[in-house]
Structures are given as structure tokens and as C-alpha cells.
Structure 1
Amino acid sequence: MTRHEQKEDEVRRMLETPHPQVPGDLAARAVERGTRLLRRDRAVRRALWALLAAAVVAFVVWASVVRPWEVPPAGTTPPLEGW
């Protein structure tokens, strides 16, 4: 008997056994869990959008104060001649 045939026999034996009883409130619990997951996903998405907005505002404030696009002033002074 090959390995494939052994697996087939095992599956057939599993299918011939009586099936377990399904709880009566399974659908209600599934709906409740799905609703809870959707609510959590929506809250996480809103929090991430708020975090992104805060990061954009912080970057704009930083850029307006520091002005990284301007050339910084020279660190040394020109030599003094004729003193």
C-alpha cells in the first residue's frame, strides 16, 4: 500500500465516524466575533491615520522652524587685514 492510499484510507475512516454536534449559538458567536474584529480594525485604522496626521504636522512645524532648505551661515569669519 502506498503512502497516498494510506492517507485516503485514513480520510475515509475519519469521514465514516459520527460527526460532532455543532453548538446552537455558533452563528451568533461568529457574528459577535466578526463585529468585534471589524470594530477593532476600524479603531486601529483611525489611530494610524491620526498618528500619520500628527507626524505630518510635526514635520511641517519642524521644517518651518529649522528651514533645512536654506544654506547655513559660514562657521568661520574672514581674516582681518590691516589692523
Structure 2
Amino acid sequence: MNRSEREAAARRIMDRTPPSVPPELFGEAVRRGGRMLRRRTAAVRLMWLLLFAASVAFVVWAVLARPWVEPPSETTPPLTGW
């Protein structure tokens, strides 16, 4: 059974039987769904904010620490008074 046949079978089943959800549950389901959507949206925004803050912190650290610059050699003394 391919995807289009499964979709058609599912549509036939849904069209054939009326929904058996009590009407008093509809409002509760809408309320919970809205709350879940708001929480998910807030969580996604918080994750983006944390990612942005981490990237800014990394850039600031990289500019100040300059990890790409080779540290000065400490094995030979400087040549002074030659």
C-alpha cells in the first residue's frame, strides 16, 4: 500500500465515522493546545537567544584571547647587550 492509498483509506475512515469527542472537551482541548503552542514558541525563542548569547560570548573571547596567534617563545632568552 503506497502513501496515496493510505491517505485515501484514512480519509474514508474519517469521513465514515462521526467524531466521538464530547462537546465539553473541545474547549479544554483548544485551551491546552494553545498553552502548549505558547510554551513551545517560548522554548524555541529561548533556545535562539541562548545560541545568540553563546556566539557573542565566543566572538568576544576570540577577539580578546586571539587563540590563532602563536605565543612568544619562552625557551630562548632575549638578545640584549650584544
Q: With the length of structure 1 as denominator, give the TM-score of the two structures.
A: 0.64
Number of aligned positions between the proteins: 61
Segments of 5+ residues of structure 1 without an aligned counterpart are 1-21
State the alpha-carbon separation in 1 of the partners of residues 42 and 50 from structure 2: 12
Query: How far is the alpha carbon of 1:25 from its aligned partner?
Result: 1.5
State the alpha-carbon separation in 1 of the partners of residues 78 and 55 from structure 2: 44
Q: Which amino acid aligns with 2:76?
A: T
Q: With the length of structure 2 as denominator, give the TM-score of the two structures.
A: 0.65
Segments of 5+ residues of structure 2 without an aligned counterpart are 1-20
Taking only aligned residues, the RMSD between alpha carbons, in angstroms, comes to 2.3
Equivalent residue number for residue 59 of structure 1: 58
Larger radius of gyration: 1
Equivalent residue number for residue 44 of structure 1: 43
- The alpha-carbon distance between structure 1 residues 31 and 72, as it changes in their structure 2 partners (threshold 3 A), is same
Query: How far is the alpha carbon of 1:23 from its aligned partner?
Result: 4.6
Secondary structure of residue in 1 paired with 2:67: coil
Secondary structure of residue in 1 paired with 2:76: coil
- Deviations, residues 24-73 of structure 1 (Å, cap 9, x unaligned): 42000000000000000000000000000000000000000000111111
List, as ranges, runs of 4+ consecutive aligned residues in structure 1 with deviation greater than 4 Å.
none
Secondary structure of residue in 2 paired with 1:64: helix
Equivalent residue number for residue 15 of structure 2: none
The 5 A counterparts of 1:6-21 are none
